[in-house]
Amino acid sequence: METEGTVETEGTVETADPYGDTDPFQWDTREDCQVRQILDRVADKWSLLVIALLDRRCLRFTELRREIDGISQRMLTVTLRQLERDGLVKRTVHPVVPPRVEYELTPLGGTLHHTIRTLVTWTEEHQNEIAAARSAYDARVAAEESAGA
């Protein structure tokens, strides 16, 4: 349904290094690159939030749903499945009458959280600069518009 149905595991086939991707800067220009795929997953809006929350403690489905403002049931399910598939989140089902499913970060997921934190911190530290830049840009555009019109 959500694409991704096939895994293919390309990467291992030819095109071993036609572009010379050992160059530390040339890592990502090709869209079929593994790194690109993972990056898209990892940088995903909801993934980021889920990982951030799970770092604190093990959480149940409904708890996550409640904590993440704006996420739908569907997206939470999908996101958790992806993270589980990528080995970032561990899913534990307790076979009791009222189903109880708990999610927690795997060690791998833990290392990712640390990295994500860096990005978040950067954003927090520079959000004012960005907001200012946006205002300036918008003002400039508006000025040009009224002048041109």
Residues at the interface with a copy of itself (CB under 8 A): 1, 3, 7, 9, 11, 25, 27-31, 34-36, 38-40, 42-45, 48-49, 52-53, 55-56, 67-70, 84-88, 108, 111-112, 115-116, 118-120, 122-124, 126-127, 129-138
Query: Residue 35: which of a copy of itself, DNA, none does it interact with, CB under 5 to 8 A by kind?
Result: a copy of itself
64 or 112: whose CB is closer to DNA? 64
**R_g (Cα) of the chain, nearest Å:** 20
Q: Does 83 bind DNA (CB under 7 A)?
A: no
Residue 96 phi, psi dihedral angles, 5° rounding: -115, 170
Q: Does 85 bind DNA (CB under 7 A)?
A: no
Residue bearing tokens 């959500």: 2
Amino acid at 97: V
- Which one of the spans 5-13, 54-62, 108-116, 117-125 is the region binding DNA (CB under 7 A)? 54-62
Contact indicator for 81, 49 with CB cutoff of 8 Å: no
Q: Does 100 bind DNA (CB under 7 A)?
A: yes
94: helix, coil or strand?
strand
Both tokens assigned to 11: 């990467």
Contact indicator for 31, 39 with CB cutoff of 8 Å: no
